[in-house]
Amino acid sequence: MIRTIRKLMALAVLLLPLLFLSVNLTSCKKDEGTAEKMGKKIDQAVEKAKEGAKDAKEKVGETVKEATK
């Protein structure tokens, strides 16, 4: 009787963490929240600003080259 209880407790000790992990992983949502969407929009705006600055730098460089001819 005591052996059976020990075996069941050992099994419970092994299986409970796996159960909690599987429940935790399956409960994760794939949907983006408001903060995630806002973060993506900010990232896009920063990328556009970088591209704009790069274009402006190139145009200034071309203008300087033409002015110094």
pLDDT tens track for 11-68? 888 888 888 887 776 666 667 788 888 999 999 999 999 999 988 988 888 888 888 8
Distance CA 38, CA 40 (A): 5
pLDDT of residue 47: 93
pLDDT of residue 31: 72
pTM to 2 decimals?
0.48
pLDDT of residue 50: 92
Higher pLDDT, 28 or 10: 10
Distance CA 22, CA 51 (A): 44
